[in-house]
Amino acid sequence: MKIALLNGSPKVQNSASGALLEDLKRYITEKADVVNYSLHRPVISETVLEELQKADAWVFAFPLYVDGIPGHLLSCLRQLEKVALQNPNRHIYGIVNLGFYEGIQAEYALQILRNWCVKTGYVWSGGIGVGGGGSLAMMPSAEQGKGPKAPVDKALAVLSDKILKLETCENAYVSVAFPRFLYKMAAQMGWRQCIKQNGGKKKDLGRKL
Amino acid sequence: MKLIITDLEEFNIPVEGEYKLIKPQGDIRHCIGCFGCWIKTPGECVIQDGYEKTGADMGKCTEMILISECCYGSVSPFVKTLQDRSISYIHPDFIMRKGEMHHKRRYTNVITVTAHFYGENITEEEKQTARNIMEANADNYDGCVKEVHFYKSAKELEGIIL
């Protein structure tokens, strides 16, 4: 069985989507032929389109942008709808990460992916919404199932089992195991550090034009 | 002021009152997730392609009208890319609203969101997703949804007044 992992983050490196796919890969890599693809831009190359035809399952991972799918990835989905790919029984899974704490806020982005499956004829097979995703790419690696990423690891383990069996599942929504008020505080401190590093002042964060 | 964002290159819809129209005029570049609009050039996207000031335009409007092809329940790639590029309308800090985490306001204006979706064969599920997303957008903007409409083609929109 061949599984395609599709990184839909616009970031070429250090993305939360990439980190989640790497974590997922650890569960499936010895049991299936797993190939990574990057959808960082609004157009998918002919070579990648041809490669994708060979996969039994596609796993999309992307960040939540304004309650939905990033614009560039939406372009890719339209391109994928228009090209007549073989294997209508292909299973589609989604992993959405978001800066907000509550994974449930990814619900509508997963709905978009499900609606896309109806248009393409592929089998919508479920996904995960991961809250607190802004911290994922920066988290030190911990033993699988331990530390702040434990709830995410657990959800990925369940999803990986479904992917390997090409089964469908209900969407799952999780958050990092880190208190919400501390996550909020850490983010706010982070923005202040970032603007200073870019030569600005803390008050510039609220600048009005 | 009404802020009209559309993917229609030829816009022939009458509008009452003061408005600003943003439509495709040259290629738009996609958001690269750099957060430069919050930490490098606060309030404006760092990508200078003519679409960088949409967040500031949102800060000056009372009503935001989206006119877009319905794309699986989402707005179209052009309109979505504009939305992605205009998160500078809000402040990076978090705030709790309706029991969920959202962003603080940058501006004081309250946006009323109206959406006009067009497209052949928009399914009921897509319509529901579109309505859900407009509500979620309004929550994130700390605004409200006025109306969400669906049309079978862009041509049908020429019979309405914005």
Each residue of B114-133: pLDDT tens digit? 999 999 999 999 999 999 99
State the CATH class of domain B2-10+17-159. Answer: alpha beta
- Please tell me whether the interface predicted TM-score (ipTM) of this complex is above 0.90: yes
Cα torsion at A192, A7, A145, A133 (round to 10°)? 30
pLDDT, tens digit (0-9, with 9 covering 90-100), for A54-111: 999 999 999 999 999 999 999 999 999 988 666 778 999 999 999 999 999 999 999 9
Chain B residues in contact with A92 by the CB 8 A cut-off are none
Quote the distance between the C-alpha of residue B46 and its chain's center: 19
- The Cα of A192 is separated from the nearest Cα of chain B by a number of Å equal to 8
Is the per-residue pLDDT at B68 higher than 70? yes
Chain A residues in contact with B101 by the CB 8 A cut-off are 100-102, 105, 180, 184
pLDDT, tens digit (0-9, with 9 covering 90-100), for A13-60: 989 999 999 999 999 999 999 999 999 999 999 999 999 999 999 999
CA nearest neighbour of B20 among B33, B37, B6: B6
Are A102 and B35 an interchain contact pair (Cβ–Cβ within 8 Å)?
no
Helix (H, G, I), strand (E, B) or coil at A191: helix
Place of tokens 């990574």: A36
Residue A175's pLDDT band, with cuts at 50, 70 and 90, is very high
Answer positive or negative: Cα dihedral of A112, A18, A130, A191.
negative
Is the per-residue pLDDT at A140 higher than 70? no
Are B59 and A208 an interchain contact pair (Cβ–Cβ within 8 Å)?
yes
Chain A residue closest in CA terms to B91 = A206
Instruction: Indicate the average pLDDT of chain A.
Output: 93
Are B35 and A194 an interchain contact pair (Cβ–Cβ within 8 Å)?
yes
CA nearest neighbour of A52 among A1, A123, A2: A2
- Exposed, middle or buried: residue B43 (CB in 10 Å: 0-12, 13-18, 19+)? buried
Q: Which residue has the higher pLDDT, A87 or A182?
A: A182
A67-100 as b/e: b if 16+ CB within 10 A: bbbbbbbbbbbbebbeeebeeeebbbbbbbbbbb
Instruction: Indicate the average pLDDT of chain B.
Output: 96
